[in-house]
Amino acid sequence: MEKGERIGSLFRDDQKYLNKEVRVNGWVRTRRDSRAGVSFIELNDGSCLKSLQLVVDFHDPSLQETLTRVTTGCSLSVKGQVVPSPGKGQSIELHAREMTLLGEADPAGYPLQKKRHSFEFLRQIAHLRPRTNTLGAVARVRSRISHAIHQFFQERHFFYIQTPIITASDCEGAGEVFQVTAPGFSGEPAGREEPAGKGEFFGKPAYLTVSGQLQAEIYALALGKVYTFGPTFRAENSNTSRHLAEFWMVEPEMAFCDLAEDLRVAEEFIRHLVEVVLRDCAEDLDFFTRFVESSLPQVLEQVHREPFEVITYTEAVHLLKKSRESFVYPVQWGNDLQAEHERHLTENIFKKPVAVIHFPRSLKPFYMRVNDDGETVAAMDILVPGTGEIIGGSQREERTEVLLEQMQRKLVPRESYEWYVDLRRYGSVPHSGFGLGLERLVQFVTGLPNIREVIPFPRTPGHADF
């Protein structure tokens, strides 16, 4: 096939392309026929939000036959001249000279019509929804953010570590794991003498990872600064707008680093990602501002400008109690902060991102460093307006004795984590890290209310289609 230009490049470099002959390939969004025998076709190729207007003369015999078959959703390859557009909202258009219909789209069956479709409906046609403005914009923003994540850490000399997806540990200790089994596997794992684990492919129960943190710690204690970025799985049976059973998490881990430095990196990281989106995804952001969340520019500009608020968990509880809001879940020292509490802190009290630090020991996993008060751990949750928690992190317990005591309290089976304790026995150092949920961040920067719209193929209880 003859190479074409991306429509995004034409708009970006319109002066360069003006009056040139180019080929473009894409899918028809709409078609409008004028009485004068000219058809206006909106062609979109996904490279940017905007579609390119094709002007097709019905009287041109070489175009006529193809034109009769052009309908919404069909794919076209078109050659023509780039000319200035008299129309509003576009600098250029294309006068078609040659047009090939690559794939038809039966108008009776094509589900994406010109009207606005509900997000619920679009989820049922996840194979076609990236052709809509919203899901196309999400995909572009998500891609840009993913790249910026690598850039951020690479520029700061972190090493990218691929931690395993199959693991025998439940890092967060919340028991929300998917078990990995091989149907029909009933034998001894090859090369094993001991009878334990008969019928288990890996010789013992294995799970899909809920976090790459523990393995990232291994590498941080050898390479200093590392990060993992990959899919994460949690069998949380919750049908909220913020939870997925499969999501992507970025987890940096830093040796020689305490909670204060951890928080500093996390804040710089979020600010950097927001800046990249503001700078490089302006067209898509403008779309989300107009059609999804009108306050988006203010919210993002503020992250860009102002430092986050930092409060302790104890202060947060105090402020929430003082607020006299009627919450569904009672506010009490020792209870976890619920979404409604997080929202109240970020949206009503501080009106900006808030880092809550030093949570009760009882609420957090075994690996977090116990503070001198013996009651709290050096944890941090970063909450943002609209989305709530987007980052969870902590300083890690580096003292062998305290770690063992934590494991005992939390009933963590010692046999499975002897290697984790070893890291404290041999050259232990203060170290810290955090996890950012990619989808939560994409929700934050797009304003989309439901997390299922910011991942190509959402997996939630009852749903694993496509």
Binding footprint of ligand 4AD on the chain (CB under 6 A): 171-172, 211, 213, 234, 236, 243-244, 247, 249, 251, 389-394, 433-435, 437, 439-440
Q: Cβ closer to ligand 4AD: 76 or 438? A: 438
Q: Cβ closer to ligand 4AD: 376 or 394? A: 394
- DSSP β-ladder status, 354-360 and 206-208: unpaired
Q: For residues 341 and 335, what is the distance between their CA atoms, to the nearest angstrom?
A: 11
Q: Which does 447 bind (CB under 5 to 8 A by kind): Mg ion, ligand 4AD, none?
A: none
Q: How far is the CB of 19 from ligand 4AD (least distance, A)?
A: 49
Q: How far is the CB of 364 from ligand 4AD (least distance, A)?
A: 9
Q: How far is the CB of 105 from ligand 4AD (least distance, A)?
A: 34
* Amino acid (1-letter code) at residue 243: H
Q: Cβ closer to ligand 4AD: 96 or 171? A: 171
Q: Cβ closer to Mg ion: 82 or 259? A: 259
Q: How far is the CB of 213 from ligand 4AD (least distance, A)?
A: 4
CA dist list (Å): 108 to 123, 180, 291: 20, 43, 28
Q: How far is the CB of 371 from ligand 4AD (least distance, A)?
A: 17
Report the half-sphere exposure of 410 (CA within 13 A, side-chain side).
23
Q: Cβ closer to ligand 4AD: 17 or 227? A: 227
Give residues with Cβ within 8 angstroms of 386, minimum separation 6. 293, 299, 343, 346, 347, 443, 444, 447
Q: Cβ closer to ligand 4AD: 92 or 220? A: 220
Using CB positions, name the residue nearest to Mg ion: 392
Among 392, 393, 447, 458, binds Mg ion (CB under 5 A): 392
Give residues with Cβ within 8 angstroms of 418, minimum separation 6. none
- Burial class from Cβ neighbours inside 10 Å (0-12, 13-18, 19+) for residue 442 reads buried
Q: How far is the CB of 217 from ligand 4AD (least distance, A)?
A: 9
Q: Which does 56 bind (CB under 5 to 8 A by kind): Mg ion, ligand 4AD, none?
A: none
- DSSP β-ladder status, 206-208 and 92-103: unpaired
Which H/E stretch holds residue 138? helix 133-155
Q: For residues 9 and 26, what is the distance between their CA atoms, to the nearest angstrom?
A: 14
Binding site residues, Mg ion, CB under 5 A:
392
